[in-house]
Structure 1
Amino acid sequence: MADADVRTAVVSDAAEIARIQLSTWRSAYSELLPETALDELNQEETERHWLEAIEDDSAKVLLAEEGGWTVGFCAGGTAPTSETANADGGLPDDASTVGLVSTLLVEPRWGRRGHGGRLLWHLAEHLRGNGVTRAITWVPESDEASMAFYRGAGWEPDGTVRTLDAQGHPLRELRLTGGVDLRLE
C-alpha cells in the first residue's frame, strides 16, 4: 500500500469530498435508498454543504489520503442535545460530553485498507481533546459493512432507533455508541 495519511480538510477540498460522498452513496447505498433519491443528489449543493462544514468551527472534517489520492472523509463534533436523547426523550447524564460522528465514508474501491479506522481514530483523538467522553453515530440498520466496522471499533447499538423518510421509503437507522479512547493498529 502506498503512503496513507489523514489530514484536516480545507476549503479547496469541498468538491472532492462531495464527489466521494455522491459516488459512494450511489454505489454503496443503491439498495438502501430509492433510485430517485440517489438521482437527485447534486454535486454543487453537496459541495456547498461541505464548504460550510469545513468553515464551521463546530465540526471537524478530516480526509483520508493514499498515494496522493483523497479516498475518504469523516466529520464530527460535539453532539447536539437532540442527538443524545434516550429513546424515552430524556437526556443521559453525560449528554454534555457526547460527540457525534456525522459522516464517515471511504470510497468502496479504497475499502479494507485501514482508511476508515484511521479516520475514526483521528476524529476520536480530536473529540477527546475537546472533552468528549464517548461518541454516537447513526447507521442504516441494513448497512452490514458499516455495522461491522463500528462493532470492530467497540461501538454497539444503544437501543435508540430513528426512521428517516427517503422519498416515501422508510430508512431505519440505529444509533451506535462507543468510546473515544481508540487504538490505531
Structure 2
Amino acid sequence: MRRSVLLLALCLVGTAPGLAFDAESQAVIDRMKAGKLVPISGIATLMMGAERWCYRQQGDECAWSDIYLSVDETGASYEISNPWSQDVDISFVDAGIFRDDRYICEAGTEWISSVRAYSRDDGLALEGRELHALKAEIAQVSDGRDADCFDYLYQAADSAAQTVTLLQRQHRDGVTDPANDAIVTLHFDKDTAEGLGWYW
C-alpha cells in the first residue's frame, strides 16, 4: 500500500501544473496576462530559463533561434542560428543591452568574426577558405553592427509542452512595423529544444 501511494505521489509530482518551468520562470509567467508587455527584467529570467527561443516556428523548425548564454542587469549575450542559404546554416554570438525595463537593444557588437557554418545537407562544418569566403559574403550585406530594439508581449504558456509564447516587436529608430512582428516560442524542454531545426 505504501509503495503504491508513493508511486502515485511521484506521478502527481511529475504532472503537477507549474513544474514544467523553473521556479523563477514560473513566477514571471504567473504575473503575466495575454497581450500585455513583459518587463525586460521578466524577459531576462525567461532568457536563462528556456533552452532555446524559436522564432516563427513551423512544425519542429524555426525561421531563426536564440540560445541565451549569459544575462546580467545590463544586458545579455546570445547565440543566433538561422539559414544563410538553402545550402548553409550559420550560428554566431551577439549581445544586447537592456533599456528602460522594456527593451533589449542590439549592442552594435561585431559578430561576423564569430560565425560558424554548417552544410544543411549533412551537417558538416565549413572550414578554412570556404568559411572565410562565407564571412566575406556576409560582410557584403551586413557590417555586423546592428542596433534595433525589441520588446515582448506575453501570449500564453503551455505546461504540458513546456513552452511560453511571446510576440516580439522590432523598434527601428523608435518606430515599430507590425510586418516585422514575430511570434517566438520559448522551449524549456532540453530534448525538444535540441531537436529543433531551421527552415529556408
Q: Same fold (TM over 0.5)?
A: no
TM-score by length of 2: 0.21
TM superposition score normalised by structure 1: 0.22
- Structure number with the higher helix fraction is 1
Larger Rg: 2
